[in-house]
Amino acid sequence: MMNTNAKILTTASLFVLVFVFGCAEKPANSNTASQPSSEVVEENPAMEGFNVKGSDEQAIDIADQVMKAMGGRQAWDKAHYLVWDFFGGRRLYWDKWNGDVRIEFLKNDTKILLNIHDLKGKVFKDGQELSHPDSLSHYLNRGKNIWINDSYWLVMPFKLKDSGVTLTYSREDTLGNGKKADVLALTFEEVGVTPQNKYEVFVDKEDKLIKQWAFFRNADQDSANFIRPWDNYQSFDGLLLSGNRSDNGGPTDVHLLDSLPATAFTSFDPVDLKQLD
């Protein structure tokens, strides 16, 4: 299954991931002056709805180490705009604070501009803006599903303690390079559109970075539908993101930006990233 880039690109919408992203709002402390506090602030608090009781302490501890190795929760919350290509077929622009998303199909003229929270937006297809309510609703919902899928291929390591997730320690295993890894299993309950899925992530014991992941269409399967590398990390001001992976799959041409023109999410006109990097 999914043995070629072409297969994954044409079926990516069938593998819509189960996550409701909880970090799409601007960090509460982003415009707040620093003041002394007697409160102890947890470094990587779980999202509301994370299954703490069903998860185990060892897995949660490793997830926190992953967040730290990736640059830390504070850096993740401060990250504002993410831009990337997905398998050479789509380009996505995501305002992580406000939930605005722009999706450009790179092999035709389709563009979807939407807000993932209220599903308001507009669509350009076949040379014109769609106006029929049913067609517009169809493509806006499709756009959200595309964003759920494509963004997870980019930011999964930051989502180990998301709403609806149960996180457990599975086993110790060996990576392809011979290094030892801790394997965490993620299962889901009453969240998203495919809660029957399961994922395994392979965390390098030395640097605490995820180096491999496995997808199970159904949690009770004995074998994975795919096992793929999660490598070639790049630092963006200390925040690590994995793109241009060794299997030529997933996100490429990744950007983390402090600003994007507001028209990126309101106009179908092209966005010139060269002026922003």
Rounded to two decimals, the pTM is 0.85
Residue 265: closest CA among 135, 107, 97: 97
Q: Which of 53, 114, 47, 48 is nearest to 77 (CA)?
A: 47
Tokens of 80: 């504002």
Q: Class of 49-268 per CATH? A: mainly beta
Residue with tokens 């992203």: 21
Phi, psi of 69 (to 5 degrees): -65, -30
Would you call 157 exposed, middle or buried from its count of C-beta atoms within 10 A (0-12, 13-18, 19+)?
buried
Q: What is the pLDDT of residue 74?
A: 95
**pLDDT in the model for residue 218:** 92
Per-residue pLDDT of the chain (277 residues; tens, 9 = 90+): 334 343 434 444 344 444 434 433 333 333 333 333 334 456 899 999 999 999 999 999 999 999 999 999 999 999 999 999 999 999 999 999 999 999 999 999 999 999 999 999 999 999 999 999 999 999 999 999 999 999 999 999 999 999 999 999 999 999 989 999 999 999 998 665 566 889 999 999 999 999 999 999 999 999 999 999 999 999 999 999 999 999 999 999 999 999 999 999 999 999 988 766 5
pLDDT at 276: 67
The helix (run of H) or strand (run of E) holding residue 81 is strand 81-86
Phi, psi (5° rounding) for residue 159? -115, 20
Distance CA 207, CA 220 (A): 30
Strands 128-129 and 81-86: unpaired
All structural domains of the chain with their residue ranges: 49-268
Contact between residue 113 and residue 121 where contact means Cβ atoms under 8 Å apart:
yes
Compute the distance between CA of residue 175 and CA of residue 2 in angstroms, rounded to an integer.
Answer: 21
Cα gap 19→173, rounded to integer Å: 26
Sheet of strand 128-129: strand arrangement: 128-129, 121-125, 111-115, 100-105, 90-95, 81-86, 251-257
